[in-house]
């Protein structure tokens, strides 16, 4: 069942189109990874889907009553504000309410529970600006979850994180999808993240997209052509891995 | 010293001007657009200058000019090739030059003109002080009712918009309330003190405050304290109260900076 549909979408800035005639749909309960080289229009497409930018042509249709929340790159957030992690999570709940409604103890308890879900309950009283990158990411993820979304949209959710923090976030997203059927949309330039998390992938290149199940879309020949370097796919400990470059050269 | 009626009115006007500006200025500092305060103060001066030439009520013209400017700056899409503060700098330069040109062309370039540009809290009438009090109460009510919405769009407007919050409405409402507060005060206390109250108490409060509620309260207290001390010192040493208050506010910033550094 489609929760979000794009029809003949053209995205870009001003009169410059980055991608045209994009038609796709996102189904309830899927994890969609949007990947592609730098400058291909991933973030522009994401912003258009979210309604932060108007499409140059075409339209995006959301199923009625669907709640979407957005986890931006944490570098974009204001750090001058002396605001605690708990207050930030409460902002996520506040967005659900009308301007006249006031939050009470029940909302604060719910915000604490949401922080606990991302293993960050102890961070509640601490100032957001004093937290590490991984901790900040968990807090803004908790803010998005506090709004009890149907669709969770994440922009580079593991950027700048160490592998431990990255694994924690990915495991949480996987559990969220499995246990609650949450629809998750991730934009990233980190391909292995999508390979091991997403159910479907949208590969963007030079204004076109290829969308489908990960195994169908992500192929060595495609990635090699897309990125202009040899790409090899394999498996280690049951997880997909990606090796970039010629044999004997640098590996990723 | 506050036995004299004009001093009591001056104190009342200073307090009524400092509270809304010091509180609303916190948003400007957090959003890194402190010069928006200067632009709004100067836009109000343009309106008052036009009113002086055209024989209109200057207060109404000042409010209209400041509100229109805040609305336009809030509604304009962010330019892609220059920073938002550059646009604010452009608006400041345009407003200042326009004020000088309008007043230079006016037949009555006299004490009224100086009052318009620099303000004089000692010359505020009781009715004007009442107007400032009304605006301060109005801003206070709006802030108590919708402060959480203003914070929401200040912290992360895009995430709030995605979640369904009408960010443009709240952002414009915040700008409008700043515009109105700046417009009504600039004519009474001058552009310099208006800008200083929008900027320096929030800066000082953010340096020493560790909670957002504390920052708002501290900012209001610092603004209030500086204008009161400015008035007292001006009376004692026969100096202009506006610049004296600004000097005290300016002094508070490095003191708070040192205190913050020492504490950390």
- Distance (Å, rounded) from C-alpha B222 to C-alpha B21? 11
Q: How far is CA A164 from the centre of its chain?
A: 18
Q: Which of A145-159, B80-94, B96-110 has the highest mean pLDDT?
A: A145-159
**A123-175 residue pLDDT tens:** 999 999 999 888 888 899 999 999 888 999 999 888 777 888 888 888 889 99
List chain A residues with CB under 8 Å of B160. Answer: 91, 95
**B207-248 residue pLDDT tens:** 999 899 999 999 999 999 999 999 999 989 988 888 899 999
Whether B257 has a pLDDT exceeding 90, the answer reads yes
In a domain? residue B52: yes
In a domain? residue B96: yes
B96 confidence band (pLDDT: 50, 70, 90): confident
**A47-70 residue pLDDT tens:** 999 999 899 999 999 888 888 999
In order of their start, the domains of chain A are 1-66+150-212 (3.40.50.300), 78-148 (no CATH), 219-252 (no CATH)
In a domain? residue B219: no
Mean predicted confidence (pLDDT) in B130-146:
92
Number of domains in chain B: 1
List chain B residues with CB under 8 Å of A78. Answer: 30-31, 154-156
DSSP code of residue A128: G
- Distance (Å, rounded) from C-alpha A6 to C-alpha B218? 49
In a domain? residue B114: yes
| B29, closest residue in chain A (CA to CA) | A80
B162 and A100 within 8 Å at the Cβ level: the answer is no
Interface contacts A/B by beta carbons within 8 Å? 84
**B29-63 residue pLDDT tens:** 998 888 887 788 888 888 888 887 888 887 788 88
In a domain? residue B263: no
- Distance (Å, rounded) from C-alpha B243 to C-alpha A103? 42
List chain B residues with CB under 8 Å of A153. Answer: 162
Question: Which residues face A84 on adjacent strands?
Answer: A127
In a domain? residue B111: yes
A34 confidence band (pLDDT: 50, 70, 90): very high
Predicted-assembly ipTM surpassing the 0.90 threshold: no
Q: How far is CA A1 from the centre of its chain?
A: 20
Predicted confidence at residue A252, as pLDDT, reads: 46
Predicted confidence at residue B43, as pLDDT, reads: 87
Q: Which helix (DSSP H) or strand (DSSP E) does residue A70 occupy? A: strand A68-71
The residue segments making up the domain with residue B24 are 5-190
Mean predicted confidence (pLDDT) in B144-153:
89
End-to-end Cα separation, chain B, in angstroms: 41
End-to-end Cα separation, chain A, in angstroms: 37
The answer to pTM > 0.80 is yes
- Distance (Å, rounded) from C-alpha B158 to C-alpha B152? 10
Q: Which CATH number do you get for residue B112?
A: 1.10.3470.10
In a domain? residue B74: yes
Whether B117 has a pLDDT exceeding 70, the answer reads no
A78 and B156 within 8 Å at the Cβ level: the answer is yes
């Amino acid at each position: 069942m489609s929760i979000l549909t794009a029809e003949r979408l053209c995205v870009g800035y001003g009169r410059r189109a980055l991608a045209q005639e994009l038609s796709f749909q996102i189904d309830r309960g899927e994890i969609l990874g949007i990947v592609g080289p730098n400058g291909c229009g991933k973030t522009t497409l994401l912003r258009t889907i979210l309604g932060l930018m108007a499409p140059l042509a075409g339209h995006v249709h959301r199923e009625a009553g669907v709640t979407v929340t957005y986890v931006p790159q944490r570098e974009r957030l204001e750090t001058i504000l002396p605001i605690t992690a708990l207050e930030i999570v409460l902002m996520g709940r506040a967005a659900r309410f009308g301007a006249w409604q006031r939050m009470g103890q029940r909302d604060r308890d719910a915000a604490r529970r949401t922080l606990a879900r991302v293993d960050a309950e102890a961070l509640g009283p601490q100032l957001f600006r004093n937290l590490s990158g991984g901790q900040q990411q968990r807090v803004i993820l908790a803010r998005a979850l506090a709004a009890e979304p149907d669709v969770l949209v994440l922009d580079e959710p593991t950027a700048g994180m160490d592998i431990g923090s990255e694994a924690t976030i990915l495991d949480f997203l996987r559990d969220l999808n499995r246990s609650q059927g949450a629809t998750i949309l991730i934009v990233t330039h980190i391909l292995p993240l999508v390979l091991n998390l997403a159910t479907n992938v949208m590969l963007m290149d030079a204004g076109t997209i290829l969308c489908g199940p990960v195994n169908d879309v992500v192929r060595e020949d495609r990635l090699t052509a897309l990125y202009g370097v040899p790409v090899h796919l394999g498996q280690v400990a049951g997880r997909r891995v990606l090796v970039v470059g010629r044999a004997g050269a640098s590996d990723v | 010293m506050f036995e004299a009626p004009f001093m009591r009115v001056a104190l009342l006007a200073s307090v009524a001007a400092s509270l809304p500006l010091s509180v609303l200025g916190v948003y400007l500092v957090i959003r890194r657009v402190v010069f928006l305060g200067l632009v709004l103060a100067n836009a109000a001066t343009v309106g008052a200058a036009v009113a002086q030439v055209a024989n209109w009520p200057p207060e109404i013209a000042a409010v209209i000019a400041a509100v229109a400017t805040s609305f336009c700056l809030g509604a304009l899409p962010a330019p892609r090739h220059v920073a938002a503060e550059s646009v604010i700098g452009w608006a400041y330069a345009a407003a200042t030059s326009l004020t000088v040109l309008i007043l230079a062309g006016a037949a009555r370039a006299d004490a009224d003109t100086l009052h318009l540009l620099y303000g004089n809290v000692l010359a505020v009438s009781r009715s004007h002080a009442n107007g400032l009090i009304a605006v301060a109460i109005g801003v206070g009510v709006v802030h108590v009712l919708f402060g959480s919405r203003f914070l929401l769009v200040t912290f992360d407007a895009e995430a709030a918009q995605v979640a369904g919050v009408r960010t443009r409405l709240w952002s414009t409402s915040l700008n409008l309330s700043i515009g109105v507060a700046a417009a009504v005060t600039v004519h009474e206390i001058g552009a310099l003190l208006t800008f200083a109250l929008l900027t320096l108490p929030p800066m000082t409060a953010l340096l020493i405050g560790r909670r957002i509620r504390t920052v708002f309260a501290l900012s209001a207290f610092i603004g209030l304290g500086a204008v009161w001390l400015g008035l007292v010192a001006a009376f004692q040493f026969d100096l202009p109260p506006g610049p004296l208050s600004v000097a005290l506010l300016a002094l508070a910033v490095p003191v708070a900076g040192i205190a913050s550094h020492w504490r950390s």
